Amino acid sequence: MPQFVIERDMPGVGGLGPEDLQGASQTSCNVLRELGPEIQWVHSYVTDDKIYCIYRAPSEDLIRQHAQTAGFPANRISEVRAVIDPTTAEPAGSPTEKGRRFPPGPIILP
């Protein structure tokens, strides 16, 4: 399943309190339930004036539909091509190579 980074311009969002962030999370989760299991919210990073969200979805269109329905901006949507971390620096075949991460497939729930 493709993974995307969504950049949301939201001036002052870093100053929101826990209750506001919880409310936004609840709104997002409610819309995700309506849209079905093909779209998954992984997590988000809140900065002073933007939120960067990581989602799994079959298409950018479904992510835009989520944003529009939830009332959130989606100023930029970029598909993740690879995920690198410090273990990426290790030579191929090294014991830590197993720790490399790539965009994971869908989460299958019972």
pLDDT in tens, 60-98: 999 999 999 999 999 999 999 999 999 888 888 766 555
For 83-90, the CB contacts below 8 A with 24+ separation are none
Residue 99 has pLDDT above 70, yes or no: no
Distance, CA of 74 to CA of 55 (rounded, Å): 12
- pTM, to two decimals: 0.80
CATH number of 3-99: 1.10.8.60, 3.40.228.10, 2.40.440.10, 3.30.70.3090? 3.30.70.3090
Pick from 73, 33, 74, 79: which is nearest to 56 by CA? Answer: 79
Q: What is the mean pLDDT of residues 8-27?
A: 97
Residue extents of the structural domains in the chain:
3-99
